[in-house]
């Protein structure tokens, strides 16, 4: 699962697609989020830095660098 990959520090970069549409959740149907099943404390949560953002029509494509190997 992705959450275990992130929690173990194996993520170097993250590429997302941001679409201009909301997908809600209700209590009757479980729909996982980006991270599910792992809780991060604020001081241990993975930090990301924006490397670039591309746009095509109304979609955004941000690229992030994982800061685990960088001095904060």
pLDDT in single tens digits along all 72 residues of the chain:
778 888 888 888 999 999 998 877 777 877 667 787 888 888 888 889 999 999 999 999 999 998 764 433
Label residues 5-16 b or e (16+ Cβ within 10 Å = b): ebbeeebeebee
Task: Report CA 24 to chain centroid distance, whole Å.
Answer: 17
Tokens 């959740």 identify what position? 25
Strand partners, 64: 14, 50
The pTM of the full predicted model, rounded to 2 decimals, is 0.70
**pLDDT value of position 26:** 77
**pLDDT value of position 58:** 96
**pLDDT value of position 68:** 64
**Nearest-angstrom CA–CA distance, 37 and 22:** 22
């Amino acid at each position: 699962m992705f959450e275990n990959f992130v929690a173990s520090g194996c993520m170097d970069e993250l590429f997302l697609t941001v679409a201009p549409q909301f997908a809600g959740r209700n209590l009757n149907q479980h729909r996982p989020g980006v991270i599910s099943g792992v809780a991060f404390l604020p001081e241990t949560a993975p930090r990301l830095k924006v490397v670039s953002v591309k746009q095509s029509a109304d979609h955004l494509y941000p690229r992030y660098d994982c800061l685990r190997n960088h001095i904060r």
